[in-house]
């Protein structure tokens, strides 16, 4: 008896350590265990592919959002940038541009919209929240003007293999957009954690004044960071447009909130200066598993909102509790 | 291996008959924060309850991407039929194709799909509804009278089509002095209507693209002699017609629409022939009906 | 390298800080820049390194006029600046802090961690300190962080090094090693601008002293040709005959009694008491745990066991609010972090702990509140244009006075002062001592944590020495000397 | 010539001073001048009454939001609290409660939802943004569950004078809800600027740690502040329910953004610790004039979003520019 108690205590102790090491990953694992216990098809290869595909758009946006949040900022305009870039791309294709060229222009537009956010924030001296709240409205309005409120679609889009491949294609049985997500993760992981640019991003979020005193070109870095956020939102917009076969004027509405939730669930502090890229990927997966799992379990959509809110709360509160210990 | 699009082959096999209670139904509705679709759901649910059919319903919250995810999840769950009320007729195509590949029949409801194979489309014609509303409004206010239009959420399918139908009539028969969006929302309907009345105090009629906005507009109009016509036929809307606060509604019958959609699913699994399009009835409900 | 600043002027709004300042420093000299709090020393250095723009005057480097756009440019031309207020990133590791904006890059622009680690080790060795590179810098004590700042500037090819109160957070031992470093750099031909309020250091390490007052350069001497009294006279404009005022304490009842106070792993079984009218000094090496004891006592941090009695009554001080209710006040060592609301006015800072006392019929009696604030500003001679100035715009010393005013105003009967004169000029220091005397005369009990041994020996009644979270012993100040205190502070025992 | 230049310079100087004194009020005045120049009915007494009525709901929410923002927090859940409290009240009335009792319960519920936010923020240690993002989802879900997705209405509501008076009544020719707004302003102006509670609110936003050390019971104050926000959102919900004669399940969606915009336009810093109650009222008026004016001018809804975004941007950037000088 005594012996077993001891072992238990010991393994209990180790377990505690593991828990705090795993952080958000633990929440993900628990969620996966619960859902797969309740529904056997969850872990099927088809569903896993679905899940990853569903996650990829949010993950791409969240990668950019994380850079912004690391500097202590926020970008509410990503959903609108997604829609506007998608609409521009679709319009170009419909007017006869080759899909590849249209993609490039669309992505570049996203970067430009992001740069505009960055300029206003870095040089205007206003809070990112309010600047991007305003540009969210402006970009959305532009999307409506461009699309005239109607979805943009046409045979030029839906008969083109390269257009469709982006959001509907498979490579070795895996949806193409999943590769995009993985690539995006790798590139921005390196940028965030292995380069001087990444270090400066953290520094600005940690203490902007000190970063300035240390000679970091804070304005330039800030602008680049919003460019990244805009660019990634545009990429997500292209994927979505391809996936839906049409550019919706109201695409991406409130996607910013899911991206922010993913970043925060991944352990990044909204105050800036602290966070890991891997966390954000896990955060996006948590939200994906939640949505997918609740659908599989047939939870009514009214209750889905309640459950989602509660899961976010629990995950974040647990994470903060661990951070304190 | 290699690169491909996910929708390569489709294999249609013969229908294996199923009793009503064995048909597993998955539903994805564009939104559940609009009474129309809540009632559509009710139509399905009431009918299903009678037969003991299992139905699962999801709310896409007006997001095409979310809807596609829901349909993927329904396919994973191997439901026997998918009733979808598309957020957008183009954006739904990939999902329909996906279901086609999985051999699951799709029934489009209230909005069609612009691609893939659907078993049938159950819909009430929104363009026609707009037209009928325009015609009735003209009858109430007279030819070339000044009227205003309250538009729905910019870009929403119903807004586009009802507006299209109404404007066909209005172009030649009415003097449309302003149109403003009130997002299909009652509170916005009230404030936008108040503002319109300030700018144009001589209008004689209003076309609201749904009942909710009409109910808001009615609050702004109060006792003034301005006629209101809308499209939908929600319980709130209909009782307003009864009271005379709204003058006419082109009523669609969401419950009937839901019932018809489910019936089509039953018919399919009873190996009966299903028509390519099923028209859900619409009709004019006017204040004078209740007098 | 020779830097000449000529006729520099600068004002913030209506506040004319620098009128006509001339200052010259060249390679191989250690040049002290002296002046009261708010004289504009830090401002002058900020102008030199491009962090602020001057309104007038010119800067010549080796005879050539220059103007740096930012700190990086100044650094590239050989001017490094160790700031008065710590400018680092608490969440980032020591290594990341050291190389921020000076990252060593390898292939494809990726960071070369190995080389950076090696570099860091090398420079820390030069300073003779052992600091882990992978811990977040915020978890280290202020002194250690200061050391890292110094290490950082050594990594650049520095020709002129500006040290703005580098010793304020250092212990005696560390100051010794800092001086070794300064001497070494001087031998290598590095010129240094040394700003400090500690007279002793100035005379120990510098070659030349320049004094600023009222926006002007008032005097400049070779250190060897001048004495403390002259410098003080130049700085304050009058004679301060004695550094520490006399103490004639009259003790009353025991105000505070702490027994077996313990927080696992932080401090252990700490017991002490203070009487009304007494100044109990807490001495010890940096990181000994003095601050932690007082924070737990005041209710900021949690403790595991022990009892606290205030005026003989056992009390439960769970939060600062409880402590304030029982007449305890606490001036924290880090005024920027926990002492002040930098973006709020002086008034809003001073009346915060007392605000509930000004409520009449549910509303704040604005007139009484203003009078109260004005009285305290006058009493502590806070140098500001009005009570509505932002606390963050004050000089370091004046900020300290604002925090003190806050606690004096709250009517504390037991006042814990953690490094009360850190970064405070001689004149103001003297004022703070006088104030402490006045408070103890009125029956206030004071606990003073100080890393300035001179101050501990010169202005306290009893000295408690802490070593690694334990109380090593208490000595009556009249029986104490530097040696005894240091013996206890390094874990030794006093053999009677 | 010389003389006139001098006068000009002098009056120019005074003007500059006036500009910075007026702050957001100037933006409002400019806007009013523009709109009334373009449309004569704007300044008519009827329209002014409309305008004030339309502003009142946003203003009430914004008053509460300002307290939250002053502490450096944010409350995204106010829109959902508005809907849930409105739905509870309507449900009670329909089930036979007297409107007055139902109002009291509805308002109390709003305070309770706010308290829950406050508790999670004060004791959970998670950022207000993410906590209220989660509760926004939970409260909205609860609203759907309660209403089953349908508006709640009934003769018990629309035949009751006291129910209708709240949102539709007039007193001396002025809509009753305008009195509510003025009363709310007065009460919360005093609370913010004349009481110890207000002073502590500012202190928490300025430096929470320093406020704590100075004896401010930060947690308790924070909880009360979210109670205020919830309470005012509920009051707004009751007004809206009365005004519409029914409780809509999706009422108040994205109202939080308008409230935040009003607060920020009024010169309150999102970082906390700085701001004026009068500014928030002006901010709400700016948004109201903008919406009302654009309707009057018949600007298409696509362009309305663009204009609104740009006006917010310009106003905020100008304000920040002044703050710097
Ligand atoms: N950013 C600023 N805005 C407004 N006033 C400022 C600002 N920075 C400094 N001041 C003012 O300039 C004066 C000089 O400040 P400075 O920090 O240079 O003094 P100092 O000599 O370094 O004092 P100390 O010895 O206390 O550090 C002070 O009166 C201070 O209030
Ligand atoms: N935030 C923190 N996280 C982790 N460790 C800390 C933190 N702050 C202080 N410490 C450690 O706690 C110990 C006690 O520090 P404390 O500041 O109480 O010492 P002190 O005697 O007051 O010295 P000082 O002269 O530096 O004020 C030190 O080892 C210090 O490194
Ligand atoms: Mg200084
Ligand atoms: Mg200390």
Q: Point out the residue among B180, B185, B236 whose CB comes nearest to the CB of D153.
A: B236
Topology (CATH) of C2-239: Rossmann fold (3.40.50)
Cβ contact C17:C7 at 8 Å: no
pLDDT band for position B119 (cuts 50, 70, 90): very high
- Å between D118 CA and nearest CA of chain C: 19
Q: Is residue C341 less than 8 Å (CB to CB) from chain D?
A: yes
A189 vs chain C: nearest CA distance in angstroms? 12
CB contact under 8 A, B91 and A244: yes
- Contact of A306 with chain D, judged by CB distance below 8 Å, is answered with yes
User: d(Cα C24, Cα C41) in Å, to the nearest integer?
Assistant: 14
The C-alpha of C46 sits at a distance from chain A's nearest C-alpha, in angstroms, of 10
The strand pair at C470-476 and C462-467 is best described as antiparallel
Least confident of B6-20, C1-15, C274-288, C403-417: B6-20
**Strands C328-331 vs C359-360: parallel, antiparallel or unpaired:** unpaired
Residue D53 lies in a domain: yes
Cβ–ligand 2 distance for C284 under 6 Å, the answer: yes
Residues of D in contact with A264 (CB under 8 A): 127, 129-130
In this structure, are residues C185 and C125 in contact, taking their beta carbons and an 8 Å threshold? no
ipTM of the modeled complex: 0.86
Q: Please, are residues B262 and B83 in contact by the beta-carbon 8 Å criterion? A: yes
Contact A305 D138 (CB under 8 A): yes
Query: How far apart, in whole angstroms, are the C-alpha atoms of residue A226 and residue B94?
Result: 32
Query: Per the domain annotation, does D8 fall within a domain?
Result: no
Q: Predicted confidence band at C393 (pLDDT cuts at 50, 70, 90)?
A: confident
Are D190 and D238 in contact by the 8 Å Cβ rule? The answer is no
- Probe residue for ligand 1, chosen from C84, C211, C393 as the CB with the greatest number of ligand atoms within 8 Å: C393
Q: Strand C328-331 and strand C313-315: pairing?
A: unpaired
Average pLDDT, integer, range C135-140: 88
Superfamily the domain C254-489 falls into: P-loop containing nucleotide triphosphate hydrolases (3.40.50.300)
A240, HSE (Cβ side, Cα atoms, 13 Å) = 41
The answer to whether D61 and D322 have CB atoms below 8 angstroms apart is no
Q: How many CB atoms lie within 10 A of CB B271?
A: 11
For chain C, the structural domain boundaries read 2-239, 254-489
Whether residues C110 and A200 touch (CB distance < 8 A) is answered with no
By Cβ distance, the residue of D134, D305, D317 closest to A137 is D305
Q: How far apart are CA C473 and CA C479, in angstroms?
A: 13
> Does C140 score more than 70 pLDDT?
yes
- C163 forms beta bridges with C82, C194
B and C touch per CB criterion (3+ pairs under 8 A): no
Cα separation, D157 vs D106, whole angstroms: 14
Q: What is the value of pTM for the model shown?
A: 0.88
Q: What is the mean pLDDT of residues C192-207?
A: 90
Query: A3-7, A229-233, B66-70, C367-371: which has the highest mean pLDDT?
Result: A229-233
- Report the pLDDT averaged over residues B5-16: 58
Q: Is B265 on the interface with D (CB under 8 A)?
A: no
Say what the pLDDT of residue C231 is. 87
Which helix (H) or strand (E) covers residue D189, if one does? Answer: helix D176-194
A306 Cβ neighbours under 8 A, 6+ residues apart: D137, D138, D141, D142, D145
DSSP β-bridge partners for residue B286: B248
Query: Which of C282, C267, C287 lies closest to C129, judged by CA?
Result: C287
In angstroms, the Cα distances linking B95 to A97, B72, B106, C339 are: 26, 7, 10, 60
Phi-psi region of C13 (alpha: psi -120 to 50; beta: other; left: phi over 0): left
CB contact set of C492 (below 8 Å; sequence gap of 6+): none
- Per-residue pLDDT band at B287 (split at 50, 70, 90): confident
Q: How far apart are CA A255 and CA A247, in angstroms?
A: 16
Task: Name chain D contacts of C355, Cβ cutoff 8 Å.
Answer: 196, 199-200
Touching C (3+ Cβ pairs <8 A), the chains are A, D
Contacts of A among chains (3+ CB pairs under 8 A): B, C, D
CA of C291 to the centre of ligand 2 (A): 7
Tokens for B270, please give them. 């009873």
Nearest bound ligand to the CA of residue C301: 2
Q: Which chain A positions have a beta carbon within 8 Å of C91's beta carbon?
A: 202, 206, 273-274
Contact B186 D151 (CB under 8 A): yes
The pLDDT, as a whole number, for residue D323 is 56
- B210 and B252 Cβ atoms separated by less than 8 Å: no
Question: Which residue among C8, C9, C14, C17 is best mutated to probe the pocket of ligand 1, counting the most ligand atoms within 8 A of its Cβ?
Answer: C17
pLDDT at A7: 39
Cα(A167)–Cα(A15) distance, rounded to whole angstroms? 41
Q: Are strands C15-26 and C359-360 parallel, antiparallel or unpaired?
A: unpaired
B19-60: per-residue pLDDT in tens?
888 899 999 999 887 788 888 999 999 999 999 999 989 988
C-beta C136 within 6 A of ligand 2: no
CA C188 to CA C190: how far, in whole Å? 6
Q: Residue D250: its chain A contacts at CB < 8 A? A: none
Distance CA(B157)–CA(B92), nearest Å, equals 13
CB D301 within 8 A of CB B209: no
Give the whole-angstrom CA distance, residue D292 versus residue B217: 15
Interchain CB contact of D164 with B (< 8 Å): no
The whole-number pLDDT of residue C72 equals: 82
Among all bound ligands, the one having the nearest atom to the CA of C164 is 3
Per-residue pLDDT of chain A (325 residues; tens, 9 = 90+): 344 434 344 444 555 566 666 778 888 999 999 999 998 888 988 889 889 988 999 999 999 999 999 999 999 999 999 999 999 999 999 999 999 999 999 999 999 999 999 999 999 888 899 999 999 999 999 999 999 888 888 888 888 888 888 888 888 889 999 999 999 999 999 999 999 999 999 999 988 888 888 888 899 999 999 999 999 999 999 999 998 888 988 889 889 999 999 999 998 988 888 899 999 999 999 999 998 888 888 888 888 899 999 999 988 888 776 655 4
Q: Which atom in ligand 2 lies closest to the alpha carbon of residue C449?
A: 22
Q: Is A316 on the interface with D (CB under 8 A)?
A: yes
Tokens of A34: 């619960």
Residues β-bridged to residue B279? B123
- What does the pLDDT read at residue D160? 85
Closest Cα in chain C, distance from residue D74 (Å)? 19
pLDDT tens readout for residues D187-229: 999 999 999 999 999 999 999 999 999 999 999 999 999 999 9
| A196·C75 Cβ contact <8 A | no
User: Which residue in C266, C294, C292 sits closest to C280, CA to CA?
Assistant: C294
Measured CA to CA, the distance from residue C142 to residue D19 in angstroms comes to 44
Ligand 2 site, residue C292, Cβ cutoff 6 A: yes
What distance in Å separates the CA atoms of residue D170 and residue A134, rounded to the nearest whole number?
35
- What percentage of chain B carries pLDDT values higher than 70? 96
Q: Any idea which residue has 């009449």 for tokens?
A: C360
Query: Of the candidates C72, C103, C111, which has its C-beta nearest A215's C-beta?
Result: C72
With a cut of 70, which residues of chain D have pLDDT below it?
Answer: 1-21, 321-325
What pLDDT is recorded for position B291? 61
Q: What is the pLDDT of residue A5?
A: 39
**Interior angle at CA D268, CA D265 and CA D274, nearest 5:** 165
Q: Identify the H or E element spanning A12.
A: helix A2-22
Which of these, C61, C64, C45, lies nearest to C1 by C-alpha position? C61
Coil, strand or helix at D275: coil
CB contact under 8 A, A199 and C100: yes
Cβ–Cβ gap B196/D250 under 8 Å: no
CA D184 vs CA A243, B282, D54, D177: distances in Å: 49, 47, 15, 10
Give the per-residue pLDDT at A17: 61
Judged by CB atoms within 8 Å, which residues 129-148 of A form the interface with D? 129-131, 133-138, 140-142, 144-145, 148
Could you list the residue range(s) of the whole structural domain that residue D138 is in? 44-324
- Convert the pLDDT of each residue in B221-254 to its tens digit: 988 899 999 999 888 899 899 989 999 999 998 8
User: Which ligand neighbours the alpha carbon of C418 most closely?
Assistant: 4
The answer as to whether A291 is a domain residue is yes
Would you give the DSSP letter of residue C481? -
Nearest partner of B162 among B71, B244, B250, judged by Cα: B250
Q: In sequence order, what are the beta bridge partners of C307?
A: C259
Closest CB to B198 among D46, D151, D300: D46
Using most ligand atoms within 8 A of CB, pick from C94, C285, C292, C490 the residue to mutate for ligand 2: C292
Reported confidence tier of residue C466, pLDDT bands at 50, 70, 90: very high
Distance CA B230, CA B250 (A): 6
Cβ of C92 within 8 Å of Cβ of A194? The answer is: no
Instruction: Note whether D83 and D241 are within 8 A (CB).
Output: no
Instruction: Decide if B3 and A53 are in contact by the 8 Å CB cutoff.
Output: no
Helix spans in C110-171 (H): 113-126, 142-155
Residue D111 DSSP SS3? helix
Alpha-carbon distance D102 to nearest alpha carbon in chain B (angstroms): 21
Please tell me the predicted confidence (pLDDT) of residue A36: 92
Stretch 150-209 of chain B: residues touching chain A, C-beta under 8 Å = 153-156, 159-160
Give the HSE-up count for residue C410: Cα atoms under 13 Å, Cβ half-sphere. Answer: 33
Spatial contact of D78 and D259, defined as CB atoms under 8 Å apart? yes
Q: How many helices (H) and strands (E) does chain A have?
A: 15, 2
State the residue for tokens 């205190």: C485
Compute the distance from residue D207 Cα to the ligand 1 centre, in Å: 21
Contacts of D17 (CB under 8 A, 6+ apart): none
Q: State the total domains in chain D.
A: 1
**Banded model confidence at residue C240, pLDDT cuts 50, 70, 90:** low
Is residue A31 a part of any domain in this protein? no
Q: What CATH number is attached to the domain comprising D220?
A: 1.10.3470
Please check whether residue B6 is in contact with residue B262, taking contact to mean a CB–CB distance below 8 angstroms.
Answer: no
Answer positive or negative: Cα dihedral of C40, C44, C45, C49: positive
Separation of alpha carbons A321 and C447, rounded Å: 34
The distance of Cα D2 from the centroid of its chain, to the nearest Å, equals 50
SS3 for chain B, per residue? CCEEECCCCCCCCCCCCCCHHHCEEEEEECCCCCHHHHHHHHHHHHHHHHHCCEEEEEECCCCHHHHHHHHHHHHHCCCCEEEECCCCCCCCHHHHHHHHHHCCCEEEECCCCCCCCCCEEEECCHHHHHHHHHHHHHHHHCCCCEEEEEECCCCCHHHHHHHHHHHHHHHHHCEEEEEEECCCCHHHHHHHHHHHHHHCCCCCEEEECCHHHHHHHHHHHCCCCCEEEEEECCHHHHHHHHHCCCCEEEEECHHHHHHHHHHHHHHHHCCCCCCCEEECCEEEEEHHHHC
Which residues touch C410 (CB under 8 Å, ≥6 apart)?
C324, C329, C353, C354, D215
Residue D299 is predicted with a pLDDT of 87
Structure tokens at C155: 């990594």
pLDDT digits (tens, 9 = 90+) for D232-274: 999 999 999 998 888 988 899 889 999 999 999 998 988 889 9
Q: Is residue A35 part of a domain?
A: no
């Amino acid at each position: 008896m005594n012996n077993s108690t001891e072992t238990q205590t010991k393994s209990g102790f180790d377990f505690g350590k593991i828990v705090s090491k795993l952080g958000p990953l633990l929440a993900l694992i628990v969620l996966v265990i619960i859902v797969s216990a309740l529904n056997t098809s969850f872990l099927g290869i088809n569903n896993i592919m679905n899940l990853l595909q569903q996650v990829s758009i949010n993950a791409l946006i969240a990668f950019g959002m994380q850079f912004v949040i690391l500097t202590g900022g926020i970008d509410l305009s990503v959903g609108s940038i997604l829609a506007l870039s998608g609409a521009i791309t679709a319009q170009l294709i419909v007017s006869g541009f080759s899909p590849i060229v249209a993609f490039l222009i669309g992505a570049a537009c996203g970067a430009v919209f992001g740069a505009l956010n960055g300029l206003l924030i870095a040089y205007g001296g206003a809070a990112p929240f309010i600047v991007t709240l305003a540009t969210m409205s402006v970009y959305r309005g532009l999307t409506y003007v461009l699309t005239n409120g109607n979805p943009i679609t046409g045979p030029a889009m839906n008969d083109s293999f390269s257009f469709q491949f982006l959001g509907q294609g498979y490579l070795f049985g895996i949806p193409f957009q999943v590769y995009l997500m993985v690539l995006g993760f790798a590139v921005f992981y390196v940028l965030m954690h292995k380069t001087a640019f990444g270090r400066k991003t953290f520094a600005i979020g940690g203490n902007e004044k000190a970063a300035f005193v240390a000679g970091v070109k804070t304005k330039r870095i800030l602008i680049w960071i919003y460019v990244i956020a805009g660019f990634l939102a545009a990429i997500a917009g292209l994927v979505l447009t391809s996936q839906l076969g049409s550019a919706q004027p109201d695409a991406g509405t409130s996607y910013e909130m899911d991206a922010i939730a993913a970043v925060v669930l991944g352990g990044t502090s909204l105050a800036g200066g602290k966070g890991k890229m891997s966390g954000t990927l896990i955060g996006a997966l948590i939200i994906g598993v939640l949505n997918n799992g609740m659908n599989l379990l047939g939870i009514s959509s009214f209750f889905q909102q309640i459950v989602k809110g509660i899961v976010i709360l629990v995950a974040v509160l647990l994470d903060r509790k661990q951070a304190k210990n | 291996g290699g690169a491909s699009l996910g929708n390569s082959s489709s294999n249609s096999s013969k229908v294996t008959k199923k009793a009503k209670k064995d048909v597993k139904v998955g539903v994805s509705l564009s939104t559940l924060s609009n009474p129309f679709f809540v009632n559509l759901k009710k139509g399905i649910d009431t009918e299903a309850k009678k037969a003991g059919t299992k139905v699962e319903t999801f709310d896409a919250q007006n997001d095409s991407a979310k809807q596609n995810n829901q349909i993927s999840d329904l396919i994973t769950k191997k439901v026997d039929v998918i009733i979808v009320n598309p957020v957008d007729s183009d954006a739904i195509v990939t999902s329909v194709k996906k279901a086609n590949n999985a051999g699951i029949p799709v029934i489009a409801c209230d909005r069609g799909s612009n691609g893939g194979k659907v078993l049938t489309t159950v819909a009430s014609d929104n363009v026609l509804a707009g037209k009928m509303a325009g015609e009735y409004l003209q009858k109430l206010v007279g030819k070339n009278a000044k009227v205003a239009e309250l538009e729905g959420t910019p870009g929403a399918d119903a807004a586009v089509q009802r507006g299209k139908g109404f404007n066909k009539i209005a172009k030649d028969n009415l003097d449309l002095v302003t149109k403003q969006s009130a997002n299909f929302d009652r509170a916005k309907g009230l404030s936008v209507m108040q503002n319109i009345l300030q700018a144009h105090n001589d209008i004689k009629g209003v076309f609201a693209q749904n009942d909710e906005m009409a109910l808001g507009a009615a609050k702004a109009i109060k006792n003034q002699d301005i006629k209101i016509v809308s499209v939908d036929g929600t319980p709130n809307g209909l009782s307003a017609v009864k009271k005379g606060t709204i003058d006419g509604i082109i009523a669609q019958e969401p419950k009937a629409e839901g019932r018809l959609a489910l019936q089509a699913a039953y018919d399919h699994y009873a190996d009966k022939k299903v028509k390519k399009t099923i028209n859900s009835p619409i009709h004019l409900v006017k204040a004078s009906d209740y007098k | 390298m020779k830097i000449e600043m000529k006729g520099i002027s600068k004002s913030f709004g209506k506040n004319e800080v620098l009128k006509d300042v001339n200052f010259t420093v060249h390679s191989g000299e250690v040049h002290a820049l002296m002046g009261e709090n708010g004289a504009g020393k830090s401002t002058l250095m900020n102008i030199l390194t491009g962090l602020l723009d001057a309104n007038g005057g010119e800067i010549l480097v080796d005879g050539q006029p220059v103007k740096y756009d930012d700190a990086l440019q100044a650094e590239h031309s050989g001017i490094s600046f160790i700031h008065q207020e710590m400018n680092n990133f608490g969440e980032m590791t020591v290594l990341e802090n050291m190389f921020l904006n000076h990252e060593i890059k390898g292939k494809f622009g990726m960071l070369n961690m190995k080389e950076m680690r090696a570099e860091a080790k090398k420079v820390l060795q030069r300073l003779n300190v052992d600091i882990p590179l992978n811990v977040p810098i915020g978890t280290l004590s202020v002194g250690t962080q200061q050391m890292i700042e110094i290490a950082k500037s050594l990594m650049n090819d520095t020709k002129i090094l500006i040290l703005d109160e580098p010793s304020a957070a250092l212990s005696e031992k560390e100051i010794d090693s800092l001086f070794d470093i300064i001497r070494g750099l001087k031998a290598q031909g590095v010129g240094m601008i040394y700003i400090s309020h500690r007279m002793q250091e100035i005379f120990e390490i510098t070659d030349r002293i320049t004094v600023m007052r009222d926006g002007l350069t008032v005097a400049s001497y070779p250190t060897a040709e001048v004495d403390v009294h002259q410098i003080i006279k130049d700085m304050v404009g009058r004679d301060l005959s004695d550094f520490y005022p006399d103490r004639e304490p009259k003790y009353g009842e025991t105000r505070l009694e702490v027994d077996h106070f313990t927080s696992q792993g932080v401090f252990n079984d700490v017991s002490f008491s203070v009487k009304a009218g007494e100044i109990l000094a807490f001495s010890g090496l940096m990181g000994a745990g003095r601050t932690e004891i007082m924070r737990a006592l005041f209710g900021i941090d949690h403790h595991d066991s022990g009892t606290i009695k205030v005026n003989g009554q056992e009390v439960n001080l769970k939060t600062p609010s409880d402590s304030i209710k029982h007449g305890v006040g606490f001036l924290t060592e880090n005024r920027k972090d926990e002492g002040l609301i930098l973006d709020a006015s002086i008034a809003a800072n001073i009346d915060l702990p007392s605000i509930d006392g000004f409520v009449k019929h549910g509303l704040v009696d604005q007139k009484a509140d203003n009078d109260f604030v004005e009285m305290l500003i006058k009493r502590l001679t806070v140098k500001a244009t009005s009570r509505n100035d932002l606390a963050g715009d004050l000089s370091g010393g004046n900020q300290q006075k604002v925090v003190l005013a806050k606690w004096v105003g709250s009517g504390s009967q037991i006042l814990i002062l953690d490094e009360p004169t850190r970064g405070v000029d001689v004149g103001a220091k003297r004022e703070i001592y006088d104030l402490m005397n006045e408070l103890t005369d009125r029956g206030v009990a004071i606990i003073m944590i100080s890393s300035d041994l001179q101050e501990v020996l010169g202005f306290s009644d009893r000295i408690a020495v802490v070593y690694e979270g334990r109380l090593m012993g208490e000595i009556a100040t009249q029986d104490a000397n530097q040696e005894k205190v240091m013996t206890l502070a390094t874990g030794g025992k006093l053999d009677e």
